[in-house]
């Protein structure tokens, strides 16, 4: 059952880390653990901070249908759009077969795929890249640069990323967030956050005009190296997009549960 254990770890890490980042964004945010559903919803413009996820292990088709309806009701009650994160390995085979129909009946549409990944972090030499200088995010202007890189990489308006991160003490003090600078200009970024004795890799992005040069991999290695050195954590988890997964495989991460991201229809 190693594969299932890794998938359970993946969803638990999401719930733990997103509790911190959402409450950092808004201390009055909707952070609840309902039966089978974790709500982590800042109701801000940065859609990744508006999250619900299903937490039942071994949900069958009937339970899945109920949970999807309940999660969609939570999403409809909000002002800003966000995503339902669904970890497929937590479902039974019959629930997986019924997933598309159940999501449609709940009023949910598939937005994009992802994959959970994990790695036992070794001690490594200081990461380097010949084009880059790494700088930890400790000031408001560098945090805005970090937000802007994510907005550009994921196709959001700049104001959306800034609404999620601007002014955050968490991201400047407790998260190991790094910029990769080329000739003094931020071109990529990555962060690790410690939760429950593990490092969680978050908000990795590369400026579109600088992609496919190894910059995202290099700055991710830097964030992992510094997070490991500061916390002693020897386990790391992340949730990758389809485009990002090969980068993390090169670092050493292994995949576990496929993830489906859903938004509300219409």
Q: What is the DSSP string of 99-166?
A: HHHHHHHHTEEEEEEEEEEEEEPPP-PPP--TT-EEEE--SHHHHHHHHHHHHHHHT--HHHHHHHHT
SS3 176: strand
| Tens-place pLDDT, residues 34-58 | 999 999 999 999 999 999 999 999 9
For helices 158-165 and 140-154, give the axis angle rounded to 10 degrees: 130
pLDDT for the residue 266:
82
What pLDDT is attached to residue 243?
87
Report pLDDT digits (tens) over 196-227.
999 999 999 999 999 999 999 999 999 999 99
Residue 1 pLDDT more than 70? no
Reported confidence tier of residue 122, pLDDT bands at 50, 70, 90: confident
pLDDT at 23: 98
| Cα torsion through 60, 63, 69, 73, rounded to 10 | -130
Are 247 and 217 in contact, with CB atoms under 8 Å apart?
Answer: yes
Q: Is the pLDDT of residue 2 over 80?
A: no
Provide CB contacts within 8 A for 169, sequence distance 6+. 24
For residue 85, what are the CA distances in angstroms to 113, 115, 217, 232, 265? 10, 11, 24, 29, 15
pLDDT in tens, 220-260: 999 999 999 999 999 999 999 988 999 999 999 999 999 99
pTM of the model: 0.94
């Amino acid at each position: 059952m190693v594969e299932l254990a890794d998938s359970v770890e993946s969803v638990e890490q999401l719930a733990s880390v997103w509790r911190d980042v959402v409450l950092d964004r808004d201390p009055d945010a909707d952070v609840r653990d309902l039966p089978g559903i974790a709500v982590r919803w800042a109701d801000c413009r940065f859609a990744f901070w508006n999250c619900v996820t299903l937490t039942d292990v071994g949900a069958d088709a009937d339970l899945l249908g109920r949970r999807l309806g309940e999660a969609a009701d939570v999403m409809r009650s909000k002002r800003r759009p966000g995503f339902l994160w669904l970890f497929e390995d937590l479902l039974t085979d019959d629930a997986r077969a019924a997933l598309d129909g159940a999501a449609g009946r709940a009023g949910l549409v598939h937005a994009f795929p992802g994959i959970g990944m994990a790695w036992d972090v070794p001690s490594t030499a200081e990461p380097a890249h010949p084009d880059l200088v790494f700088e930890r995010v400790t000031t408001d202007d560098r945090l805005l640069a970090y937000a802007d890189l994510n907005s550009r990489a994921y196709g959001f308006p700049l104001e959306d990323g800034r609404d999620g991160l601007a002014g955050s003490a968490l991201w400047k003090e407790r998260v190991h967030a790094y910029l990769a600078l080329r000739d003094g200009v931020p071109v990529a970024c990555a962060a690790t956050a410690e939760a429950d004795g593990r490092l969680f890799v978050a908000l990795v992005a590369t400026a579109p005009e600088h992609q496919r040069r190894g910059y995202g991999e290099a700055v991710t290695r830097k964030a992992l190296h510094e997070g490991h050195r500061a916390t002693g954590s020897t386990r790391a988890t992340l949730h990758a997009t389809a485009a990002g997964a090969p980068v993390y495989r090169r670092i050493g991460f292994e995949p576990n549960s496929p993830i489906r991201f859903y938004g509300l229809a219409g």
